[in-house]
Structure 1
Amino acid sequence: MELNDAIKQLKAHGYKTTAKRKDMLTFFAVADGYRTAKDLIGYLEPMYEGISFDTVYRNLHLFNEVGVLETTELNGEKHFRFSCSHHHHHHFICKDCGKTKEIAVCPMDDVRHSLGGYEIEGHKFEIYGLCPVCQ
């Protein structure tokens, strides 16, 4: 997702695009992979002295709810990144730096056969480890 697409998505759901929200989205537009709320606060602090965790978390969850950000959990903490809704795929996620690499294979192709009679409504498949730089 691009920054302008994210802004359009917010507006389409009836939300205002404030300067603070644009700055938050800009952070994810340039981030390579998943990032935490702490990472975002570190980025925003110089611009918005004393920005609260509540403000950041509330907006992160809003962005996720409208489909701008996707989430995963690494080491017991929620991580966020721009949504990749242009096609179906899965990710390898580096546990150190949060960078992602797209995986072209989907395990659901095999799983559907073993779940005959079940209605599958969705799935998420992620592989965790260390990228070449972090090894």
Structure 2
Amino acid sequence: MNYREALDTLKRHGYKYTGKRESMVQLFNRKDRYLTAKEVLEEMQKEYPGLSVDTVYRNLSLFEELGIVEGTEWEGERRYRFHCGGDHHHHHLICTECGRTKQLNLCPMNAILGEPEGFEITGHKFEIYGTCSHCQEQTEAKGGS
């Protein structure tokens, strides 16, 4: 997903281009990582000081429903990023420091489970959490382990 595709998706489904929605799309395009609703709110309140958390959650929910963003949960909090698009099945490596992701173009489910007898799998999610090389370098530069 990118900025133009996101706005086209809103339009195609009959939703207005509001300044707030467009700003939220710009934010996800610019950040290119998972963001919490709180981070979205804080960033957007710079331009829209009276923006409510309800408006942010409503639009995040709409964006997720339309496939503009995808959500995940970690550390007890829902986080969102631009939907990575594409029709091929894949999973993600997710940096818990910066929220950036890297596609994992193989499916560990095949190795773990194969095709179980008497059960049709209709979906699954597999995410690996850790620290990306950029964040590791920053930690080492600061004298961390």
The two structures have a TM-score, normalised by structure 2, of 0.86
Residue of structure 2 equivalent to 1:90:
91
Q: Deviation per CA, 1:108-132, whole angstroms, max 9, x where unpaired?
A: 3335535122111111110001112
Letter in 1 for 2:84: C
Residue of structure 2 equivalent to 1:134:
135
Q: Which moved more, 1:60-69 or 1:4-13?
A: 4-13
Q: How many residues align?
A: 135
Residue of structure 2 equivalent to 1:9:
9
> Which sections of structure 1, spanning at least 5 residues, go unmatched?
none
Q: Cα RMSD (Å) of the superposition?
A: 1.4
Letter in 2 for 1:10: L
Residue of structure 1 equivalent to 2:36:
36
Segments ≥4 residues shifted beyond 3 Å:
none
Secondary structure of the equivalent of 2:134? coil
Residue of structure 1 equivalent to 2:101:
100
Aligned counterparts of 2:52 and 2:33: Cα–Cα separation in 1: 23
Q: Which moved more, 1:53-62 or 1:11-20?
A: 11-20
The two structures have a TM-score, normalised by structure 1, of 0.92
Residue of structure 2 equivalent to 1:52:
52
Aligned counterparts of 1:134 and 1:40: Cα–Cα separation in 2: 21
Letter in 2 for 1:57: Y
Aligned-pair identity (%): 50
